[in-house]
Amino acid sequence: MIVVLMGVSGIGKTTIGSLLAARTGWIFEDADDYHSEANRRKMASGTPLTDDDRLPWLRTLHDRIVQHIAQKESVILACSALRAMAREELSSGLAPGQMRFVLLYAPSALIEQRILARQHQYMNPNLLPSQLATLEEPEDAWRVSVEGTPEQTVSEILGYLESIHAWKQ
């Protein structure tokens, strides 16, 4: 099982993903670790990435996913996956049900507050409006609010996983 925690920068994908991995024993991967240096510089300058910028990154992530599946490893991937084309690239060739998307969401004011309170090596806080505008919400994703504590968010995701028998406590 591959669970993709998706959403805009500052929504808590890494925090939630790390906690979820600790609770499930699954592997955690942060898609940010696979950005090219050129993409990192572009984002740090406050310039949004284009689909052309994202495509090699998405293909690298897809390759990682395929490797994990071949090794029969369950993975939690923190990845913005804001556009439908990104989600299609990530799930290309996978069997139905092998990958689940979890859309983490919150009011934009809360996201902005969290972004300003953290230090991120290259994610410019000025990118939030462009990320919100870019988000194409998937119809089949589990929608989970991050307005509560990270532990509450993780418990809700675990409830979804239990409901499809992908994980048992």
Q: What is the pLDDT of residues 45-91, one digit of tens each?
A: 878 788 899 899 999 999 999 999 999 999 999 999 999 999 999 99
Cα 76 from Cα 64, distance rounded (Å): 12
- pTM (2 decimals)? 0.89
Q: What is the pLDDT of residues 81-126, one digit of tens each?
A: 999 999 999 999 999 889 999 999 999 888 888 877 766 555 556 6
* H-run or E-run covering 103: strand 99-105
168, pLDDT greater than 80? no
Range of the domain at 62: 2-163
Q: What is the CATH number of the domain that holds 60?
A: 3.40.50.300
Q: Which two tokens stand for residue 89?
A: 């690239």
Cα 117 from Cα 65, distance rounded (Å): 31
Residue 104 lies in a domain: yes
Total of domains in the chain = 1
Residue 129 lies in a domain: yes
Residue 169 lies in a domain: no
